[in-house]
């Protein structure tokens, strides 16, 4: 379905609002293809269309939601009636309300690449098969492939509301990803690689394969290390996960609920002076850039931490109203099933001057962290306590030394922000809402033997 | 949901280009939830989904398509897409008569949540909020969630299986934040069972609220967790997730088949301490991971995976079982009709032993007692895992002493299994979980008695 057809459905629902009711309808459609290759053959090929509608109703300061995975008239009517009924059970909230148009015009971004719509199925299969083959051939120690996938999606969404917001858009995305196994009798390691874009032509298969092979073999023979306090150097992939967490704590939702260690601290110094973080929501190079947010407002750049000083939070219409400010265009909706939450689009650190190699050399003695595990179980977003599983390479005398695995690194996020000692110039994009750079943080506890 | 002649024609369309196996999985699901936060009922949400997924297997290749259109025309269109995706070249299976699977329902639902007035669900949330806050002025924030779902499935395939199931689940969770001089700490508690609204005849939300609030308050006085390798005692019910993650995933036949498991090729070997018997059981009445039939139409089973330390069997779905010429173990599950089934766990637990929990503790000179593990993840190929400790204490001189702040616990599955040197007689199931694998989430349960892991676990604390 195209955005115009979806917009018509959304408009129709909104037109059924009774006097005094605020109604917002989101209608989404996608066509997805997924190919998994194994041992040179197609293991599975999935092709499907899906659609859904989500309705949010606010009446007398009370909110109700309803969604359906079908778009027939009966389902739409039932969905609206359910949302209305659900609203009657909510508590009255003086701040409840939909987003209001704020006059900010959405930027025109290139999110829909027509070439994907006409892409050849055989070519998609070839990519998955070739990816698997290249990884297997990449190093003699690669002994298995857990998955080698090609996936794409053509999506369209439309939103309409009684407050006068109307917008629809379409987007394409392609993904190539592989998860490989390497080792010998003694040791097994795993590694992944991926490439993303908006059409097949954007994909860099060789780079994805190379990345997976490198991730696999670089930690063969790694062992547990003794516990100590040292400087950690985070790989951009790890930094991006770390930044996502900080962005969560700077979401208006955490802040207005008193669940963020950074609540009420705008203007305070919370990080090293070299640390400047912002949501570059419309960066056209990012796979997660967006023109409008989950409530239909224009996405825009949002400053968060400026030279170590907390400058603000991310807000959707509701959290902004509670906080007495205006939306930053940061409403995020996981799907048509969910109420709009708050989240970043493209979190970025202002890059520094040094390359990753220069940072390693400058740190001299430390731990280069390639990967972390258990981030969500190991971080208390309320207190900021952090302890995550990690692997990587010991840095000695400014050079990469022995591999390390099965250790944890621990601190608190607040302390880590203050202990940032170097920021790399190597801005790296990922298919999630945060970018990364090489980042060095002093005085972190590494727990091992 | 679908008439038998329609099913026959859809399967015929799915197998029309040649197939070794074809299947239709239809699903209708209604769910509702209510959320309390900051003292207010933030919103009620209801949702409905329905559709069917069609799977066609040709040799080692699977074609899959799904549709929300359950009319015969819609289903046949999806079947043709799936057949084209499987790239069959003629030949293969013929359609046989469908034989209805008679699987025992693991429990009867007494009160359908859909029949319960919404006001009653809202009342539960308000009670929980009130009771949690009544635990002390230190409780500064409370959020709670009620959720129920009713899922009806129908599975039919060219092996002649026709099965249906009706799965009702009800869940309640609460999270309390306590604030003090040392900052803020969170305490949580949840209960979820494959039952209807009668869940609340057995569990008082007031008790859940008090437990969550006390957990948060206790942690205010907690000291930073130590770091390094130490002896760990896990409390009853609180650590089943470790066996789910660290052992269970490695016993899934799809991962084993790709060499992505440390347990590959080890059937019949001693892989754990002789005190360890690990079971996966989809038949456990009322538990979060139970069902009558799995999402491939096979009746739920109780499967012993490790018996007295010896690896006895892996878990199987239809596809992997077919390739090995054996029967599925009833572990073929999927998140929804939009997903392909995979080997998944159900309720995974470690059987109780003979020691009393007091004996185990008094015999532990120093270490960490974990009464609650949070979420975690595992690398099945290496067995390395990491979990959050959401409630833990120091053990000193055979006694539980000070509470510890949150930290991660890391280790290696096979190493932990062999290092278990005491298993208690106080088996208990843990809370409801959602297991994620390859982007799909399914409800699972887990359980353990008190047990001790002598070596191999590293606590990742923040204390120097």
Q: What is the DSSP string of A15-69?
A: HTPPTTEEEEEEEEEEEEEEEEEETTEEEEEEEEEEEEEEEEEEETTEEEEEEES
DSSP state of B287: -
A425 within domain boundaries:
yes
**Is there a contact between A339 and B43 if contact means CB atoms under 8 Å apart?**
yes
Distance from CA of B92 to the nearest CA of A (A): 18
The answer to whether residue A147 neighbours chain B at the CB level (below 8 Å) is yes
- Which pLDDT belongs to residue B92? 61
The answer to whether residue A41 neighbours chain B at the CB level (below 8 Å) is yes
Sign of the C-alpha dihedral, residues A131, A134, A138, A139?
positive
The answer to whether residue B460 neighbours chain A at the CB level (below 8 Å) is yes
Q: Residue B228 is nearest to which of A45, A227, A376, comparing CB atoms? A: A227
CATH number, position B167 = 3.30.2290.10
B253 within domain boundaries:
yes
**Is there a contact between B262 and A409 if contact means CB atoms under 8 Å apart?**
no
If asked whether residues A247 and A345 sit together in one domain, one would say: yes
Q: Which two tokens stand for residue A135?
A: 């990884």
- Which pLDDT belongs to residue B56? 96
Q: Which residues of A touch B411 (CB under 8 A)?
A: 406
- Which pLDDT belongs to residue B13? 94
If asked whether residues B420 and B275 sit together in one domain, one would say: yes
If asked whether residues B332 and B252 sit together in one domain, one would say: yes
Total structural domains within chain A: 2
Pair type for strands B384-396 and B310-311: unpaired
Last residue of a domain, one of B218, B237, B260: B218
- Which pLDDT belongs to residue B94? 63
Q: Least CA distance to A45: which residue of chain B?
A: B63
**Is there a contact between B47 and A386 if contact means CB atoms under 8 Å apart?**
no
Total structural domains within chain B: 3
If asked whether residues A326 and A427 sit together in one domain, one would say: yes
Average pLDDT estimate for B120-134 = 98
> What are B279's strand-pairing partners?
B304, B349
> What are A153's strand-pairing partners?
A32, A173
- B174/B133 Cα distance (integer angstroms): 12
A223 within domain boundaries:
no
Interface test with A, best of B27, B82, B379, B408 (most A CBs within 10 A): B408
A317 within domain boundaries:
yes
E strand spans, B230-340: 232-234, 278-281, 302-307, 310-311, 332-333
Largest pairwise CA distance in chain B: 73
Question: How does pLDDT run across A14-43, given as a tens digit for each residue?
Answer: 999 999 999 999 999 999 999 999 999 999
Question: How does pLDDT run across A48-92, given as a tens digit for each residue?
Answer: 899 999 999 999 999 999 999 999 999 999 999 999 999 999 999
Element (DSSP H or E) covering residue A255: helix A252-256
**Is there a contact between B42 and A445 if contact means CB atoms under 8 Å apart?**
no
Domain containing residue A404: 228-447
- B57/B21 Cα distance (integer angstroms): 5
If asked whether residues B202 and B87 sit together in one domain, one would say: no
Q: Residue B44 is nearest to which of A89, A389, A449, comparing CB atoms? A: A89
**Is there a contact between B340 and A44 if contact means CB atoms under 8 Å apart?**
yes
B405 within domain boundaries:
yes
Q: Which two tokens stand for residue A127?
A: 């990519």
Residue A258 in this model has a pLDDT that exceeds 90: no
The answer to whether residue B141 neighbours chain A at the CB level (below 8 Å) is yes
The number of C-alpha atoms within 13 Å of A250 and in the hemisphere containing its C-beta is 28
B157 within domain boundaries:
no
**Among A182, A179, A214, A183, which Cα is nearest to A194's?**
A179
- Which pLDDT belongs to residue B464? 46
Interface test with A, best of B32, B43, B57, B323 (most A CBs within 10 A): B43
The answer to whether B252 and B343 are in contact (CB under 8 A) is yes
Write down the ipTM of this complex: 0.91
DSSP assignment string, A292-342: B-TTSPBP-EEEEEETTEE---B--HHHHHHHTS---S-EE-SSTTS--EE
Sign of the C-alpha dihedral, residues B134, B135, B136, B142?
negative
Average pLDDT estimate for B31-59 = 95
**Is there a contact between B185 and A90 if contact means CB atoms under 8 Å apart?**
no
B344 within domain boundaries:
yes
A222 within domain boundaries:
no
Q: How many CB atoms lie within 10 A of CB A81?
A: 14
Q: Which residues of A touch B458 (CB under 8 A)?
A: 224, 406-408, 447-449
If asked whether residues B309 and B416 sit together in one domain, one would say: yes
The answer to whether residue B149 neighbours chain A at the CB level (below 8 Å) is no
Domain containing residue B90: 4-32+46-100
B105 within domain boundaries:
no
If asked whether residues B255 and B132 sit together in one domain, one would say: no
If asked whether residues B452 and B347 sit together in one domain, one would say: yes
Last residue of a domain, one of A217, A237, A267: A217
- CA-to-CA separations, B315 to B147, B253, B275, B344, in angstroms, rounded: 30, 6, 21, 8
CATH number, position A164 = 3.30.2290.10
If asked whether residues A178 and A269 sit together in one domain, one would say: no
Q: Which two tokens stand for residue B287?
A: 């538990």
- CA-to-CA separations, B307 to B262, B271, B300, B320, B449, in angstroms, rounded: 18, 10, 20, 22, 16
**Among B151, B118, B49, which Cα is nearest to A84's?**
B118
The answer to whether residue A86 neighbours chain B at the CB level (below 8 Å) is yes
Q: DSSP 3-state assignment of B184?
A: strand
Backbone torsions φ then ψ of A227, nearest 5 degrees: -70, 140
E strand spans, A142-239: 142-161, 166-183, 188-197, 228-234
If asked whether residues B450 and B346 sit together in one domain, one would say: yes
pLDDT level of residue B228 (50, 70, 90 thresholds): confident
A118 within domain boundaries:
yes
How many helices and strands, by DSSP H and E, does chain B display?
10, 25
- A143/A189 Cα distance (integer angstroms): 10
- A222/B384 Cα distance (integer angstroms): 13
Question: How does pLDDT run across B243-300, given as a tens digit for each residue?
Answer: 998 899 999 999 999 988 999 999 999 999 999 999 999 999 899 999 999 999 999 9
If asked whether residues B276 and B402 sit together in one domain, one would say: yes
pLDDT level of residue A259 (50, 70, 90 thresholds): confident
- A304/A395 Cα distance (integer angstroms): 32
In the predicted model, what is the mean pLDDT of chain A?
Answer: 95
Range 58-117 of B in CB contact (< 8 A) with A? 59-68, 78, 81-82, 85-87
Helix B4-14 × helix B72-86 angle, to 10°: 30
Pair type for strands A385-396 and B347-350: unpaired
Dihedral angle over CA of A258, A259, A260, A261, nearest 10 = 80
Q: Least CA distance to B186: which residue of chain A?
A: A382
Average pLDDT estimate for A390-395 = 95
Task: Give the CA angle between residues B192, B193, B194 to the nearest 5°.
Answer: 140
Residue A176 in this model has a pLDDT that exceeds 60: yes
Q: Which residues of B touch A180 (CB under 8 A)?
A: none
The answer to whether residue B379 neighbours chain A at the CB level (below 8 Å) is yes
The answer to whether A152 and A178 are in contact (CB under 8 A) is no
Element (DSSP H or E) covering residue A448: none
B107 within domain boundaries:
no
Average pLDDT estimate for B382-411 = 91
If asked whether residues A325 and A354 sit together in one domain, one would say: yes
A61 within domain boundaries:
yes
Q: Which two tokens stand for residue B414?
A: 């096979």
Range 2-61 of B in CB contact (< 8 A) with A? 34, 37-51, 59-61
If asked whether residues B142 and B119 sit together in one domain, one would say: yes
Interface test with A, best of B87, B148, B187, B410 (most A CBs within 10 A): B410
Residue with tokens 């990012």: A286
B38 within domain boundaries:
no
B39 within domain boundaries:
no
Question: How does pLDDT run across A272-303, given as a tens digit for each residue?
Answer: 999 999 999 999 999 999 999 999 999 999 99
Terminal-residue alpha carbon distance, chain B: 61
If asked whether residues A187 and A239 sit together in one domain, one would say: no
If asked whether residues A294 and A183 sit together in one domain, one would say: no
If asked whether residues A409 and A310 sit together in one domain, one would say: yes
**Among A376, A441, A426, which Cα is nearest to A237's?**
A426
pLDDT level of residue A410 (50, 70, 90 thresholds): confident
Q: Residue A82 is nearest to which of B46, B143, B460, comparing CB atoms? A: B46
> What are A41's strand-pairing partners?
A38
Terminal-residue alpha carbon distance, chain A: 57
Q: Residue A259 is nearest to which of B118, B141, B384, comparing CB atoms? A: B141
Q: Which two tokens stand for residue A369?
A: 């962290």
- A128/B158 Cα distance (integer angstroms): 29
Q: How many CB atoms lie within 10 A of CB A104?
A: 14
Element (DSSP H or E) covering residue A207: helix A205-217
Average pLDDT estimate for B333-356 = 97
A404 within domain boundaries:
yes
pLDDT level of residue B310 (50, 70, 90 thresholds): very high
The answer to whether A247 and A332 are in contact (CB under 8 A) is no
What share of chain A in percent tops pLDDT 90?
89
The answer to whether residue A189 neighbours chain B at the CB level (below 8 Å) is yes
Q: What is the pTM of this model?
A: 0.93
If asked whether residues B123 and B85 sit together in one domain, one would say: no
Residue with tokens 């990753």: A356
- Which pLDDT belongs to residue A364? 96
If asked whether residues A249 and A211 sit together in one domain, one would say: no
Task: Name the burial class of residue A18, with classes exposed (0-12), middle (13-18) and buried (19+) by CB atoms within 10 angstroms of its CB.
Answer: exposed
If asked whether residues B278 and B427 sit together in one domain, one would say: yes
If asked whether residues A69 and A156 sit together in one domain, one would say: yes
If asked whether residues B298 and B404 sit together in one domain, one would say: yes
Q: Residue A382 is nearest to which of B34, B177, B408, comparing CB atoms? A: B177
Q: Which residues of B touch A188 (CB under 8 A)?
A: 262, 381-382
Sign of the C-alpha dihedral, residues B431, B432, B435, B439?
negative
If asked whether residues A19 and A160 sit together in one domain, one would say: yes
A30 within domain boundaries:
yes
Residue B191 in this model has a pLDDT that exceeds 90: yes
């Amino acid at each position: 379905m195209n955005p115009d057809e979806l917009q018509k459905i959304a408009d129709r629902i909104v037109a059924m609002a009774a006097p005094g009711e605020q109604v917002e309808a989101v209608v989404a459609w996608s066509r997805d293809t997924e190919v998994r290759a194994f041992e040179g053959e197609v293991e599975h090929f999935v092709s499907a269309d899906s659609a859904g509608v989500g309705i949010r109703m606010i009446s007398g300061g009370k909110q109700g939601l309803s969604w359906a995975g079908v778009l027939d008239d009966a389902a739409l009517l039932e969905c609206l009636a359910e949302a209305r009924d659900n609203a009657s059970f909510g508590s009255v909230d003086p701040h409840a309300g939909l987003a209001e148009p704020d006059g900010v015009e959405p930027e025109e971004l290139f999110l829909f690449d027509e070439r994907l719509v006409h892409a050849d199925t055989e070519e998609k299969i070839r990519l998955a098969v070739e990816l698997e083959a290249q990884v297997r051939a990449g190093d003699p120690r690669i002994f298995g492939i857990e998955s080698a996938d090609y996936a794409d999606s053509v999506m369209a969404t439309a939103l309409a509301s009684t407050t006068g917001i109307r917008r629809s858009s379409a987007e394409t995305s392609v993904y190539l990803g592989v998860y490989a196994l390497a080792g010998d009798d003694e040791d097994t390691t795993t590694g992944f690689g991926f490439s993303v874009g908006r059409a097949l032509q954007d994909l860099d298969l060789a780079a994805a394969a190379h990345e997976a092979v490198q991730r696999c073999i670089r930690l063969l023979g790694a062992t547990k290390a003794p516990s100590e306090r040292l400087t950690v150097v985070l790989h951009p992939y790890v930094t991006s996960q770390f930044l996502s967490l900080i962005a969560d704590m700077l979401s208006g939702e955490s802040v207005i609920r008193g669940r963020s260690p950074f609540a009420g601290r705008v203007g305070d110094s919370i990080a090293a002076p070299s640390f400047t973080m912002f949501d570059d929501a419309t960066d056209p190079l990012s796979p997660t850039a967006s023109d409008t947010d989950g409530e239909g407002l224009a996405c825009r750049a949002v400053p968060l931490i400026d030279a170590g000083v907390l400058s603000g939070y991310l807000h959707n219409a509701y959290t902004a109203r509670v906080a007495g400010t205006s939306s930053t265009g940061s409403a995020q909706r996981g799907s048509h099933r969910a109420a709009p939450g708050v989240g970043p689009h493209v979190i970025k650190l202002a890059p520094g001057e040094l390359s990753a190699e220069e940072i390693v050399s400058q740190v001299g003695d430390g731990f280069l962290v390639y990967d972390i595990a258990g981030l969500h179980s190991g971080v208390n977003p309320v207190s900021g306590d952090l302890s995550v599983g990690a692997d990587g390479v010991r840095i000695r005398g400014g050079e990469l030394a022995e591999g390390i695995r099965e250790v944890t690194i621990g601190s608190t996020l607040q302390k880590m922000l203050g202990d940032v000692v170097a920021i790399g110039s190597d801005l790296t994009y990922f298919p999630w809402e945060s970018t990364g750079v090489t980042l060095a943080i002093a005085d972190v506890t590494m727990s091992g033997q | 949901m679908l008439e038998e002649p329609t099913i026959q024609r859809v399967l015929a369309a799915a197998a029309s280009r040649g197939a070794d196996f074809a299947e239709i999985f239809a699903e209708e699901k209604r769910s509702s939830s209510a959320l309390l936060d900051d003292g207010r009922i933030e919103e009620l949400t209801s949702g409905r989904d329905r559709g069917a997924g069609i799977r066609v297997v040709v040799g080692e290749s699977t074609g899959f398509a799904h549709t929300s259109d359950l009319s015969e025309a819609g289903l046949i269109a999806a079947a043709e897409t799936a057949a084209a995706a499987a790239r069959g070249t003629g030949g293969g299976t013929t359609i046989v008569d469908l034989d209805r699977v008679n699987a025992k329902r693991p429990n009867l639902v007494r009160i359908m949540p859909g029949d319960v007035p919404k006001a009653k669900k809202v009342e539960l949330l308000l009670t929980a909020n009130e009771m949690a806050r009544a635990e002390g002025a230190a409780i500064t924030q409370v959020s709670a969630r009620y959720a129920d779902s009713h899922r009806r499935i129908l599975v039919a395939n060219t092996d002649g299986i026709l099965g249906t199931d009706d799965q009702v689940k009800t869940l309640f969770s609460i999270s309390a934040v306590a604030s003090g001089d040392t900052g803020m700490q969170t305490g949580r508690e949840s209960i979820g069972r494959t039952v209807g609204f009668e869940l609340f005849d057995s569990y008082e939300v007031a008790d859940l609220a008090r437990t969550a609030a006390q957990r948060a308050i206790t942690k205010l006085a907690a000291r930073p967790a130590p770091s390094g390798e130490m002896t760990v005692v896990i409390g009853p019910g609180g650590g089943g997730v470790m066996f789910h993650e660290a052992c269970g995933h490695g016993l899934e036949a799809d991962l084993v088949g790709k060499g992505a498991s440390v347990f590959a090729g080890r059937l019949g070997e001693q892989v754990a301490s002789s005190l360890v018997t690990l079971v996966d059981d989809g038949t456990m009445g009322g538990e979060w991971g139970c069902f009558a039939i799995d999402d491939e139409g096979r009746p739920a089973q109780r499967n012993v995976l490790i018996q007295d330390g010896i690896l006895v069997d892996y878990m199987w779905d239809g596809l992997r079982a077919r390739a090995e010429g054996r029967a599925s173990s009833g572990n073929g599950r999927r998140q929804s009709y939009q997903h392909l089934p995979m080997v998944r766990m159900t309720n995974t637990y470690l059987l109780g032993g003979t020691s009393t929990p007091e004996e185990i503790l008094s015999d532990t000179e120093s270490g960490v007692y974990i009464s609650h593990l949070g979420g975690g993840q595992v690398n099945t190929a290496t067995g390395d895992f990491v979990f959050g400790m959401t409630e833990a204490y120091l053990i000193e001189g055979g006694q539980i002493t000070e509470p510890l702040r949150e930290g991660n616990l890391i280790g290696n599955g096979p190493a932990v299994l062999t290092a278990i040197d005491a298993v208690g007689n106080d088996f208990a199931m843990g809370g409801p979980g959602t297991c994620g694998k390859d982007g799909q989430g399914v409800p699972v349960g887990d359980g353990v008695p008190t047990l001790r892991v002598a070596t191999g676990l590293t606590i990742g604390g923040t204390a120097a």
